[in-house]
Structure 1
Amino acid sequence: MDFFSDIGGGSLYKPSLFELVAQEQLRDMLQPALKYVLSVFAQRYPRYLLRVVNCHEEFHALIMFFVERHYLREYGASFSEHFYGLKRRRKPIVETERANTAVGGIPAQEKLRRIDVLSSLFFLVGIPYLRAKAQDYYEQLGGGVDPELMEEPPAARRLRVSEQTLGNRLRRLFKAVYPWANGAYELWLLGYNVAYLFDKTTFYRPWLSWIGVDMKRMGADDYQLMEGKATQALQGQSSSQKKRGLLAFIGRLLISSPQLLLDSLKVLLPMSIFFVKFLEWWYSPSSPARSLAAAPTGPPIPPPRMLPPHPRGIPIDGTKYGECPLCRKMLENATALPSGYVFCYKCAHEHVETHGRCPVTLLPARIWQLRKVLI
């Protein structure tokens, strides 16, 4: 990265385009990682998390609002920017890098104001949320689907055309305009990236120039300030423990726990992204798990033979496939017992709950041993 860092200009603290694109990709991967984790836990606790998964965009925007607000106020950068050692500063009218280097420290005029933090939050959280909702609405309207696949009959088409309302016209207008607007937006951002790469502008995003904020690498003064804050927090906690006792220390720790949790996201979120990407690779068709699952040589091992019926068990007609041996009807919600025989779930559950054994082989069986079968 040292070679590419010098492409965009002569300033040592000016980040390269590759660093800025990398931090944006990290921010874009946070939403699918969070959604995957929520989906896994929602399968176990659907009563509490199913609504959260259904409103995932709103939940993600709310979480990222507090995360980005914390990092902007504490470190002057978003979460992904701080992860890559970048920060935001108020763009000075005249660059005075030599004077600032001679004096030392972080200039007060470069620190973000409250209005800068709120403006950054709008473009970091608000704009991605609106784009996600617009994309979801476009897909709900059938955007991107071949019209031939969803060709409606002439009578339905005439009825739809006859019912011309304002809402229908606006929906059709949105469906026609959205792809062009989204494409123009991406080309606009690409143009700024190219201009930043060739040092034609100091802002890699247009809204940074609107709010008067640019990107900069963190220097030694920034790292010293972060270490000083951490040292003061530890000293304050240790002194409070000595003066007020253990209960006061625990209370102070609970008060500061949200900040500790937000700071720990620097490790937790990248680890969750790595975990999601690892699962995608592991379950992909070209992963080693697929090759290890198959036998290296020879045909696969056949399943064990089904146990023979007991003389006192119910009779089985081997010619009537798809019929439940208990109710003598077609299988409904097919369920297999440990013996290998398949019954309706209701029939198998009632018989095992009452007798505790397989009705054909008379082998012991329990409710938790019932297995659903896809047929």
Structure 2
Amino acid sequence: MATYSDHAAQQDPYRVSIFELAAQDQLRDLLSPVVRYVLSVFAQRNPRYLLRIVNHHDSLFALCMWFVERHYLLTHGGSFTETFYGLKRRKVLGRGRGGVDEERTKAAFKLTGKSDQLGRKEVTGSLVFLVLLPYLKTKATDLYERLGGGVDADLFSSPTSTSSSPLALLRNASLNPSLLVRLKLAFQAAFKLSYPYANLVWELLLLVYNLRYLFGKSPYWRPWFQLLGIEVRRMGQEDYERLSSIPTPLTRLLRAPRSSPPSTRPPLSLILRRLPALVPALLLDSLRLALPLSIFGFRLLEWWYSPAGGSSVLGRGHKPGSQPALRVPRPSAAGAGDDDAAQQGTCVVHGGKVDNPTALPSGWVGCYRCLRALEEEVEDLALGEGVKRGTGRLRDPKTGEWVEVGRLRRIMG
């Protein structure tokens, strides 16, 4: 198998550096938190319409990104964030060959009569690893945290949650659950024990591929690129000329009617007939402008609601009798005269000092143990009378909305 040489890697202007690849990958990871944060802020003011969307954010976001990534893979030859950095994906001739020399690779494609552009197989495979794999990993992480993983039970878990863990229920001789319940508990216990090791192996595999790509030993910086036979390259002059030759949705919308001079403006009726078919493409192409604006808005909202941000400064420095520009909504009329600054640094449950701070989706912070103690419990008749199990959700002490336990986020500092 042929490998990159250091000299060839330095002389190849189309080879992407590992820092660019890591930057676009980090940018993709920021998209979901940005959308979730913006929706959660607006959901506090319009919970009737947006709360369900926020509660099913992961599934809806993955569905939307499937269409977004498919559009950019077919049109631009790369993922959404890759095209933002001027990168593309292309097929290689064989596994482990290709990309050493741009001109030689193009000549090889011409001799074989093939194209290096992505085909249906490569597009479908890219969608699986761009959208489906991160979605499954997110769901697996949420399930692991919902089962009590990732934290020390002696420090964070409530007294009832330890005895109701899947492994503890299986070992309880006084219970006589059905076969289906036993299989479910066995799966949950095996998943909780094996998930950290599987995640460690996965991260080590990615690290190996990153190091091999960094030192020029492989053209693939991710294992699924080698599986699909594609690599990431910088876009060249030919790629930009090809993209400029493709008419944009706006150009097709304002294109002159047939049998008319090119400078003729189409009538309004023709524009309205074309608009429904071109609206999806217009929205997808406009995302390239919406991406930097959304990230800027996310950082602005994060600063605004921070303790040292504009909301706190304006709230503390307002004149007597006047209202601040933006105020956190009160749960009730009681205590309406309290200052918001008095609640900062205190637990949302018991009102004291926060130990192991954990944030709710609404933005309020409390102790992890206090929040987990609020988890709803129901009697599990399949395991016997008097045995209670957590439902995996709790009620927000401030907003009163139901929150999944997996959506609690511990603050590391």
Q: Same fold (TM over 0.5)?
A: yes
Match of 2:53 in 1: 52
SS of match in other structure, 2:11: coil
> Where in structure 2 are the equivalents of 1:1-375 lying within 5 Å?
9-93=10-94, 95=98, 97-98=102-103, 109-148=115-154, 149-152=157-160, 161-162=172-173, 163=175, 165-230=182-247, 234=251, 237-240=254-257, 242=264, 245-285=267-307, 287=309, 334-335=333-334
Structure 1 pair 48/289, CA: closer, same or farther in 2 (3 Å)?
closer
Cα distance in 2 for residues equivalent to 1:71 and 1:230? 15
Are 2:249 and 2:281, in contact at CA under 8 Å, matched by a contact in 1? no
Deviation per CA, 1:193-231: give whole Å up to 9, x if none.
111000111100000000101010001111111111137
Are 2:82 and 2:88, in contact at CA under 8 Å, matched by a contact in 1? yes
User: How far 1:11 moved relative to its partner?
Assistant: 1.2
User: How far 1:76 moved relative to its partner?
Assistant: 0.7
Cα distance in 1 for residues equivalent to 2:170 and 2:91? 58
User: How far 1:150 moved relative to its partner?
Assistant: 3.2
Deviation per CA, 1:328-373: give whole Å up to 9, x if none.
xxxx9545899xxxxxxxxxxxxxxxxxxxxxxxxxxxxxxxxxx9
Cα distance in 1 for residues equivalent to 2:336 and 2:279? 50
Are 1:237 and 1:252, in contact at CA under 8 Å, matched by a contact in 2? no
Match of 1:349 in 2: none
Question: Which structure is richer in relative contact order (CA contacts within 8 A, separation 6 or more)?
Answer: 2
Unaligned segments of structure 1, at least 5 residues: 1-5, 305-331, 339-372
User: How far 1:255 moved relative to its partner?
Assistant: 1.6
User: How far 1:34 moved relative to its partner?
Assistant: 0.9
RMSD: 3.8
Cα distance in 1 for residues equivalent to 2:125 and 2:184? 33
Are 2:66 and 2:127, in contact at CA under 8 Å, matched by a contact in 1? yes
Residue type of the alignment partner of 1:123? F
Structure 1 pair 100/239, CA: closer, same or farther in 2 (3 Å)?
farther
User: How far 1:286 moved relative to its partner?
Assistant: 5.1
Deviation per CA, 1:143-199: give whole Å up to 9, x if none.
122221434599876896224722112111111110111121111111111110001
Could you say which structure has the larger radius of gyration? 1
Cα distance in 1 for residues equivalent to 2:78 and 2:245? 18
Deviation per CA, 1:70-98: give whole Å up to 9, x if none.
00000110000000000000112465633
Are 1:8 and 1:16, in contact at CA under 8 Å, matched by a contact in 2? no
Cα distance in 1 for residues equivalent to 2:160 and 2:250? 67
Residue type of the alignment partner of 1:130? L
The TM-score with structure 1 as length reference comes to: 0.70
Unaligned segments of structure 2, at least 5 residues: 1-6, 259-263, 323-330, 338-397, 400-413
More helix by share: 1
Identical aligned residues as a percent: 43
The TM-score with structure 2 as length reference comes to: 0.64
Cα distance in 1 for residues equivalent to 2:50 and 2:35? 13
Are 1:7 and 1:16, in contact at CA under 8 Å, matched by a contact in 2? no
Structure 1 pair 100/334, CA: closer, same or farther in 2 (3 Å)?
closer
Residue type of the alignment partner of 1:72? L
Structure 1 pair 155/265, CA: closer, same or farther in 2 (3 Å)?
closer
Structure 1 pair 109/154, CA: closer, same or farther in 2 (3 Å)?
closer
SS of match in other structure, 1:111: coil
User: How far 1:108 moved relative to its partner?
Assistant: 5.4
Structure 1 pair 177/283, CA: closer, same or farther in 2 (3 Å)?
same
Residue type of the alignment partner of 2:15? K
Are 1:240 and 1:249, in contact at CA under 8 Å, matched by a contact in 2? no
Cα distance in 2 for residues equivalent to 1:100 and 1:202? 13
Cα distance in 1 for residues equivalent to 2:237 and 2:243? 10
Structure 1 pair 335/225, CA: closer, same or farther in 2 (3 Å)?
same
Cα distance in 2 for residues equivalent to 1:154 and 1:134? 20
Cα distance in 1 for residues equivalent to 2:18 and 2:298? 26
Q: How many residues align?
A: 304
User: How far 1:138 moved relative to its partner?
Assistant: 0.7
Structure 1 pair 232/101, CA: closer, same or farther in 2 (3 Å)?
farther
Cα distance in 1 for residues equivalent to 2:70 and 2:39? 23
Cα distance in 1 for residues equivalent to 2:12 and 2:25? 22
Structure 1 pair 238/336, CA: closer, same or farther in 2 (3 Å)?
same
